[in-house]
Structure 1
Amino acid sequence: MPRRHVWRAVVSFAAAAGIAAAGSLLAAAPALAAEPATAGRYVALGDSYTAGPLVPIQTGRPAGCLRSTNNYPALVARALAVATVSDVSCSGATTANLGGPQPTGLGTNAPQLDALGPDVSLVTLGIGGNDIGFVSIITDCATRSPLHPTGAACRDHFTAADGTDELAARIDATAPKIAAALADIEERAPDAHVLVVGYPALLPDTGPGCFPVVPFSPGDVAYLRGVEKELNAMLAAQAAAAGADYVDTYTPGVGHDMCAPQGTRWIEGLVPTSPAAPVHPNAAGMRGMADAVLGALSPQAQSAA
């Protein structure tokens, strides 16, 4: 895309300054501040996996969006020394809230796409989970699965008598909404480098999970793992079709799922042990996602434009 070379140059400078690991992002920001902020404006769009609910420190308006000063957009902006960042992500957002307002109970978030403009050089979009019913899926599965620990009650609940999978159908129905959002981004910010950010690994990539700590039976762990991979595959396909780049946060998140030990996990369980919303990234998860975004911008991660 037209401005990709700008971001590659900035990230190359970051690498030369020693920015290789996510944990070094904040410490390295002063060194990067000397680089002229030629990359323009960065706009972050998305749902709670972008906003960072309950990850310290919560900030922004409306308060109901539960944005963190240490979510991945904030970490990326600091690492790149971006001149201006507009983080309009909001917990609970669906694709409908990209083009329409979102009431939160603590104020209304304006349509996220309104933050775009011709001066925008970088856009990250992390959305789609709420379109398929993230909260209801977790609630249903956490309720049903423990009643049949040797079965797959959650999978059975979402599978029709004819074998049709309801969640697969929801993912298919969300695909054109992602496509429409990407087309709108292209129209409003034609010179922007657009990154579609996927979802990190919520459950172990192999094996039965960690029942009853995370109350999903082995069968349902396998099912839900497949659903998340299917969602991410759809996001990657829509990004490719639109000429955007996809950021894989699932692969680097393997081994950091909600079954991993405290201090290793990026995703908190249904009862968090670190500041974060249940089944959401903690501060370490946000650092890992920021690192994936920076990796997608690096010249080593992409062929030259």
Structure 2
Amino acid sequence: MMKTSVQAGVAGLLACGTLLTVVLVTRDGDGTHTGIAYSAPAKGPYVALGDSYTAGPGITDPTGTPVGCDRSAGNYPALVAAELGLKGGDFHDVSCSGATTTDLTSAQKTEDGTNSPQLRALSSDTRLVTLGIGGNDIGFSSMIKRCVAMGTLYRLTGSGKYLAENAPCARAYVNGDSDEVRAKIATAGDRLTRVLTEVKRRAPEARVYVVSYPAILPSDGADCGREMSLAPGDVTFLREKEQQLNSMLRQRASDAKVTYVDTYTPSAGHDACTAKDTRWIEPLTPENPAAPVHPNARGERGMADAVLRAIKSAL
């Protein structure tokens, strides 16, 4: 009841272009609620840009167009907008599953419709932008699939024991000083820098937040065999590559003088190999509504809370 009243008040004052401080009721990663006080954007719309970790496929029925983007009404942009009291023309979610940095400036074809270039949603009126991108640029999804296949083969033909040094997939990507994934991360970083420059050009008055990826895999590789069929050394390899990707996002955000949102730290202990009622990320066979190896509703809530904390901190 109190939450509804706060949101209504925020929405009214936003429409008047007033800057105010409010207290929002949000949930921590364990489902508890905390109050987050922050200064709301003075006026204007919120635009959400990004890939499937932003869109939230499988959590609820798809919303928005095109249907092929698999946006969920329960994704973190929708939750952030709801906490800010933004509705209708004040909130534009153009995220799309499968998006790369290229799809921010070019149309993206999906299995069910074409998504316009995401940056087209920006304007001089935009006051808040969140961006979650980069995983598809480095082919992280295909990496996981390849590593799962190798891990499954290892389990069937190997010694039958998970040994920490076993990383058949890592050896396919890293050879001596040559690291294919690290090179792709660097290239994605250069593209992100250009994207952020364009975001600031199109929406010069907006506060921009680059949102990282939450923890997908645990720190202990031996804990993930049943859920993900990965050799333990490859769990370590994939986890390190995600951390390198997030480090790149942090650095490029800092270079562009925009805010980096850390979702990895609060998601620690909520990875795909934890219990059904704890995890933020679903394993290969989801037990909660979500796409495989993607955030569930709890994960999107945790990411939304991280964004709201960043908004508070930045202001």
The CA distance in 1 between the partners of 2:40 and 2:251, in whole Å, is 34
Correspondence for 2:187 among 158, 169, 173: 173
How is 1:108-187 mapped onto 2 (pairs within 5 angstroms)? 108-148=114-154, 149-150=162-163, 151-160=166-175, 162-187=176-201
**Structure 1 letter corresponding to 2:22:** F
What is the TM-score when the length of structure 2 is the normalising length? 0.85
Q: Post-superposition shift, 1:37? A: 8.0
Say whether the 8 Å CA contact 1:57–1:70 is kept in structure 2: no
* Cα distance per residue 1:113-154 (max 9 Å; x no partner): 000000000000000000000221011000012333431011
Equivalent of 1:94 in 100, 119, 134 = 100
- Kindly state the Cα deviation for residue 72 of structure 1 after the two structures are TM-superposed: 0.2
**Secondary structure, aligned partner of 1:14:** strand
Question: Which shifted more, 263-272 or 78-87?
Answer: 78-87
Work out whether 1:40 is the aligned partner of 2:54: no
Unaligned runs of 5+ in 1: 1-5, 29-34
Per the alignment, residue 255 of structure 2 pairs with 241
Amino acid at match of 2:137: D
The answer to whether structure 1 residue 57 and structure 2 residue 61 are counterparts is yes
Flag the 1:70–1:140 CA change in 2: closer, same or farther, 3 A: same
In structure 2, how many angstroms separate the alpha carbons of the residues matched to 1:89 and 1:245?
19
Contact (CA 8 Å) 1:40, 1:82: kept in 2 or not?
no
Whole-angstrom distance in 1 between the partners of 2:271 and 2:231? 16
Contact 1:146 1:216 in 2 (8 A): yes
Identity %: 49
Letter in 1 for 2:65: R
Partners in 2 of 1:241 and 1:113 — Cα distance?
20
Looking at structure 2, the residues matched to 245 and 170 of structure 1 have their Cα atoms a distance apart, in angstroms, of 23
C-alpha distance in 1, partners of 2:277/2:40?
36
The residue that corresponds to 2:22 in the other structure is 13
SS of the equivalent of 1:103 reads: strand
Amino acid at match of 2:99: A
The TM-score with structure 1 as length reference comes to 0.88
Partner of 1:292: 306
Q: Does the CA-based 8 Å contact 2:282-2:293 persist in structure 1? A: yes
Q: Deviations over 1:229-279 (max 9, x none)?
A: 000000000000001000000000001000110010010001111110000
SS of equivalent residue, structure 2 residue 282: coil
For residue 275 of structure 1, what is the aligned residue in structure 2?
289
Contact 1:208 1:222 in 2 (8 A): no
The separation in 2 between residues aligned to 1:19 and 1:227, in whole angstroms, is 30
Does the CA-based 8 Å contact 2:221-2:231 persist in structure 1?
A: no
- Structure 2 runs not aligned, ≥5 long: 1-13, 155-161
Q: CA RMSD in A?
A: 2.3
- Listed as ranges, the matches of 1:16-31 within 5 Å are 18-19=25-26, 21=28
**SS of residue in 2 equivalent to 1:108:** strand
Amino acid at match of 1:132: I
Question: 1:21 deviation in Å?
Answer: 4.1
Number of aligned residue pairs: 284
Higher mean alpha-carbon deviation, 164-173 vs 179-188, is at 164-173
CA deviation map 1:158-189 (0-9, x unaligned): 113x4311111110111110001100000000
* Residues in 2 aligned to 1:24 and 1:294: alpha-carbon distance in whole angstroms: 15
Q: Cα distance, 1:19 vs. partner?
A: 4.1
